Structure 1
């Protein structure tokens, strides 16, 4: 198969979907790998490394998209890339279609087969291809939140861990999954007072056991959320419903009750956001805005700020599926891997993931009927 690696064009996105080592694995199995020049530079991988691994380097994205049967990316294609789509082409990347109706429309109209990392679900319910980026984003949410709490950035001027004689900051985390757990690790490590709101009782028991009383858990309901939000110095939205739009759990009225200079970091922004006042996507270049006296951080590609770590963590879990697709083609690959099948969001002009279809308002068509 011909596998293409274009350079990411999202603003300040420095990750890459395939390392030179991955390109070498494909090449050794007889596949042709086409890499856009500079694709890996942001993650510390020089063009020469891809060439030495057996890849062919091309100057621009057109040559990659035009020739490749399988396109591997990190982030969802942007409108300027829609014109490259062609029928039957395989696209393997983070899609987040629930918050990207124009992209869903373009993929269906152009008959692209689009497989989303974030909806590939293992039998135990985990999301193995989303997990490493959720770990990075969860840890970064505290790192970034602590920075914007500084008065220099418009925050309250509060140190997360406090000092002897001065209480620590209150960090409220909504969602106790991978993002929330990693955020809690970081916040606790910095000495903050941490509360996690979660609706799953088993997950709360797990968090209570793992953190051995170093955080408090609360059942996630409107009353408890409103009470916790009011006390927050740093509020982290860490809610995920696979494939679906993030539920709006924190209302604008709740935000209005927050302390002036408090900070909100909504990790769910790439799925539409779980905080009502998060009404726009921001960038690493301009990551925050103020509303109701509260600093809002809404960067949709947080792991892109630490591309070396993020690229290695991501490609560790994606490369086996890239190899599976390249060696077997789409149909045999999804038949061999039910998890890969769950990642298929669009095929032959139809939306094949129920939650995605509901989120974008398209008819749902089961994948089995299209194979």
Structure 2
């Protein structure tokens, strides 16, 4: 198969979808890999390393899209990429369709095959291609939150872990999944007092067993959240409903309950955010203030640590890329149920329920689409 790796052009996105090591593995399987010049530069990988691994370098993004049967990326295509996408071309990347109606309609119109990292799902409901970036984002949420709690950043002027004789900051984490657990552990490690909320009692029991002593667990409901935000210095939104919009757990009126300088970090911003006043920001302009509350809502947080993120992501995606390249997307999805549920939009049809529900679009059964490919 001919595989294309374009340079990411989203604001301050320094990750790349494939490392030189990944290129070498694909070349061993006799696949052709085209990489755009300087695609890996932001992650610390030179063109020479890609060439040494067997990649063919192309100077422009237009050439990459023009030649590739499968495009592998990190972030969803942005508007200037839409015209480059060909009918029947396979795109394997993070899409988060439920948070962007224009992107959804653009991919439908282009007739592309859109396989989303974030909805590839194992039988135990875990999300193997979201996990590595969730681990990075969960840890970063505390790192960034601690920074924006500083007074020059308009925060409360509180050191997360405190010092002897001074209480540590209180961190509230909404959601006990991968992001929430990583955030709670990171905050606890820095000495903060942490409250970790989730709607699943079995999950809370598990977290209570494995978390440090300075992490308390609590059932997530509106009453408990309203009470907790009054005392929190840093609030992390870490709620995910795979492929669908995140629910608004922190509402606009709750900001009035918070102390001036409280910091909100919404890791769920890719899926619409679980904080009502959240809107996507960039690493270039990461925060804004509403009602004296600092909002940090960067949509590609792991892009700030691109080396770590790129290696972690390729470790997870490469086995799936290999299956798609070896078998073609139709057969790979028939053979692997994990990949099958990753299909979101196929040749003009929405095949993922969360995306159809988000934008009130007709839903086509994924089996029907795969069957159509057999018959054709």
Q: TM-score band (shorter)? A: over 0.9
Q: For residues 277-305 of structure 1, give each alpha carbon's deviation from its aligned partner in whole angstroms, at most 9, with x where no partner exists.
A: 11x21111110011100100010000000
Following superposition of structure 1 onto structure 2, how do residues 249-264 of structure 1 map, counting pairs within 5 Å? 249-264=249-264
- Deviation of 1:26 (Å): 1.1
8 Å Cα contact 2:117-2:342 kept in structure 1: yes
- Does 2:352 align with 1:353? yes
Q: Give the unaligned 5+ runs of structure 1.
A: none
- Report the more deviating stretch, 211-220 or 178-187: 211-220
TM norm structure 1: 0.99
- Deviation of 1:199 (Å): 0.4
Q: How much is the aligned-residue C-alpha RMSD, in angstroms?
A: 0.8
1:53 & 1:116 partners in 2: Cα distance? 26
SS of 1:195's equivalent in the other structure is strand
8 Å Cα contact 1:114-1:345 kept in structure 2: yes
1:66 & 1:362 partners in 2: Cα distance? 29
1:92 alignment counterpart = 92
SS of 2:294's equivalent in the other structure is strand
2:44 alignment counterpart = 44
8 Å Cα contact 1:97-1:360 kept in structure 2: no
SS of 2:114's equivalent in the other structure is strand
- Deviation of 1:364 (Å): 1.1
8 Å Cα contact 2:116-2:344 kept in structure 1: yes
8 Å Cα contact 2:343-2:352 kept in structure 1: yes
8 Å Cα contact 1:351-1:357 kept in structure 2: yes
2:339 alignment counterpart = 340
**Aligned positions, number:** 370
1:314 alignment counterpart = 313
- Report the more deviating stretch, 164-173 or 204-213: 204-213
- Deviation of 1:361 (Å): 2.0
8 Å Cα contact 2:142-2:183 kept in structure 1: yes
- Report the more deviating stretch, 88-97 or 50-59: 50-59
1:277 alignment counterpart = 277
Following superposition of structure 1 onto structure 2, how do residues 181-196 of structure 1 map, counting pairs within 5 Å? 181-196=181-196
TM norm structure 2: 0.97
- Deviation of 1:11 (Å): 0.7
2:222 alignment counterpart = 222
1:78 alignment counterpart = 78
Q: For residues 254-273 of structure 1, give each alpha carbon's deviation from its aligned partner in whole angstroms, at most 9, with x where no partner exists.
A: 11210101100000001001
- Report the more deviating stretch, 19-28 or 55-64: 19-28
Following superposition of structure 1 onto structure 2, how do residues 237-256 of structure 1 map, counting pairs within 5 Å? 237-256=237-256
- Deviation of 1:214 (Å): 2.7
SS of 2:218's equivalent in the other structure is strand
SS of 1:285's equivalent in the other structure is coil
SS of 2:361's equivalent in the other structure is coil
- Report the more deviating stretch, 209-218 or 41-50: 209-218
The runs of 4+ residues in structure 1 deviating greater than 6 Å are: none
1:276 & 1:211 partners in 2: Cα distance? 29
1:301 alignment counterpart = 300
1:57 & 1:256 partners in 2: Cα distance? 54
Following superposition of structure 1 onto structure 2, how do residues 122-201 of structure 1 map, counting pairs within 5 Å? 122-201=122-201
8 Å Cα contact 2:8-2:16 kept in structure 1: yes
2:374 alignment counterpart = none
8 Å Cα contact 2:35-2:58 kept in structure 1: yes
1:101 & 1:230 partners in 2: Cα distance? 35
- Deviation of 1:330 (Å): 1.1
Following superposition of structure 1 onto structure 2, how do residues 89-128 of structure 1 map, counting pairs within 5 Å? 89-128=89-128
- Deviation of 1:25 (Å): 1.2
2:248 & 2:116 partners in 1: Cα distance? 23
- Deviation of 1:365 (Å): 0.8
1:106 & 1:67 partners in 2: Cα distance? 20
SS of 1:231's equivalent in the other structure is coil
- Deviation of 1:212 (Å): 5.0
8 Å Cα contact 1:4-1:64 kept in structure 2: yes
8 Å Cα contact 1:27-1:33 kept in structure 2: yes
Q: Give the unaligned 5+ runs of structure 2.
A: 371-376
SS of 2:4's equivalent in the other structure is strand
